[in-house]
Structure 1
Amino acid sequence: MTERQDAPRFLYADDPDHPGWKRWELGQKGRFNDALGPLSVKVEGDIARVRMAVDTRHSNLADNLHGGALLAFVDVAMFAAARGFDVLHHGGAVTLDVAVQFMAAGSVAEPIEARVELLRETGRLLFLRGLIVQDHGNVANFSGTVRKVTGK
């Protein structure tokens, strides 16, 4: 690994490419999340909007978004949204479960966005649900549970 081991786990700061949004990404490069690229987060009321730029590396042979790329985005978007909601910071957390229903093909020609709601927070659990959307409509819906491992 080329990054310092003491680098922050996650970076969450103003997104220089998208005014009014925050950029959420891992502090260490070379991890799985790099396949998705940095995410942009904006909280509007009870909804956290998590946006990802997509390109052909996220596509399948039909030139649509690959289902695996969408599943990875759903998983990571739950953590980015939790940071946006100020319920998850630098402590560890894991996905306990996630359910996704695909409703339409995703396009590689436009960004994809998760609109995430925090349904409930207990001492260690976050219950979330959301929609994956693009300009042409809903691509998928999801629900998931995240467990905080150490603190907030």
Structure 2
Amino acid sequence: MPVPDGQWAGWTIWSEPSPNTFFQAIGRSYIRADGDNRALVGLETAVGHRNRQDNLHGGFIATFADHAFFGGLFAMGHVEHASGLTIDLSMQYLGAGRVGPPVMAEVELLRETGRLMFMRLMIRQDGEPIAASAATIRKASRRQ
């Protein structure tokens, strides 16, 4: 269900902080489609995402990238593959992120085969790139 108002109006909530789950560490995130094979995933940053230099921790940024690939698939309509498996993920850190402003992942599905999905994304904060990532996702197995 789309968020009715505020900064995230028109977006769909992808994850909510949930006690005793990893989503507690990630925080609230939002998704929306952005054309064919493209989606946006936004996330509110928090003090728990910082490193000792008060920037966003690189591990948090990598976690967000992995999280965003699946949120992006869901937003693109690949709902059945949003529970797939990451089999390869690479990161390039392009700049320091700050706690406070949200981060935005621009997710793209590059190619899909019978079992795999090849993806990439760019993470921006205030319009500036802070990281890029590429991943190979194994599609979720069909349960019989």
Q: What range describes the TM-score normalised by the shorter chain of this pair?
A: 0.7 to 0.9
> TM-score with structure 2 length normalisation?
0.87
Q: Matched residues in 2 for 1:113 and 1:63: separation?
A: 19
Q: Matched residues in 2 for 1:98 and 1:33: separation?
A: 19
Q: Matched residues in 2 for 1:137 and 1:90: separation?
A: 30
Q: Quick check: 48-57 or 30-39, which moved more?
A: 30-39
Q: How many correspondences in the alignment?
A: 140
> TM-score with structure 1 length normalisation?
0.83
Q: Which residue of 2 aligns with 1:95?
A: 86
Letter in 2 for 1:77: A
Contact (CA 8 Å) 2:31, 2:71: kept in 1 or not?
A: yes
Among all aligned residue pairs of Structure 1 and Structure 2, give the percentage whose two residues are the same amino acid: 37
Q: Matched residues in 2 for 1:137 and 1:15: separation?
A: 25
Q: Matched residues in 2 for 1:91 and 1:105: separation?
A: 29
Which of the numbers 116, 119, 136 marks the counterpart of 1:145?
136
Contact (CA 8 Å) 2:73, 2:81: kept in 1 or not?
A: no
Which of the numbers 47, 58, 68 marks the counterpart of 1:67?
58
Q: How does 1:30-109 map to 2 (within 5 A)?
A: 30-46=20-36, 47-89=38-80, 92-109=83-100
SS of the aligned residue for 1:141 comes to strand
Relative to structure 1, is the Cα distance of residues 133 and 118 closer, same or farther in structure 2, using a 3 angstrom cutoff? Answer: same
Relative to structure 1, is the Cα distance of residues 91 and 137 closer, same or farther in structure 2, using a 3 angstrom cutoff? Answer: closer
Relative to structure 1, is the Cα distance of residues 88 and 145 closer, same or farther in structure 2, using a 3 angstrom cutoff? Answer: farther
Letter in 2 for 1:92: S
Question: How far is 1:93 from its partner?
Answer: 1.2
* Runs of 4+ with deviation above 6 angstroms: none
Q: Which residue of 2 aligns with 1:15?
A: 3
Any gaps of 5 or more consecutive residues in structure 2? none
**Which whole-Å deviations, capped at 9, do the CAs of 1:18-38 have from their partners, x for residues lacking one?**
221111127x75321221112
Q: Matched residues in 2 for 1:125 and 1:150: separation?
A: 11
SS of the aligned residue for 2:60 comes to helix
